[in-house]
Amino acid sequence: MSKNIEIFTDSSRFSNDLENQVRDYACSRCTITVYDASDPNWKSIMESKKTEYGVTTLPAVTISGKIVPLDKIKKGKISSLVRDLLHNNPK
């Protein structure tokens, strides 16, 4: 089952690492969208999505509109979080 994964970045090194980790663990059918705060083309869309999902800090990741806890991502648990959300949270 495909999921919509959205990554909100601020061009920091951690943002790039986070994006790579998410891409590594996402299924081939998942849609990944990256919103970069430094890109003026994404600014209005990114702000709207951040408000909709309650994103308050960058970088951030949402899967099907649910925020993935950043502290767990930093602790290297992204693989299990993504798998759990991808397989146990039907759209």
Domain ranges of the chain: 4-88
- Quick one: pLDDT at residue 90? 47
pLDDT at 43: 86
**Token pair 């990944």 in the structure block, residue:** 32
What is the model's pLDDT at position 91?
A: 43
Which residues of the chain fall short of a pLDDT of 50?
90-91
Q: Which two tokens stand for residue 43?
A: 């600014």
pLDDT at 1: 60
Region of 11 (left: φ > 0; alpha: ψ -120 to 50; beta: rest) is left
Fold of the CATH domain 4-88: Glutaredoxin (3.40.30)
| Start-to-end CA span in the chain (Å) | 8
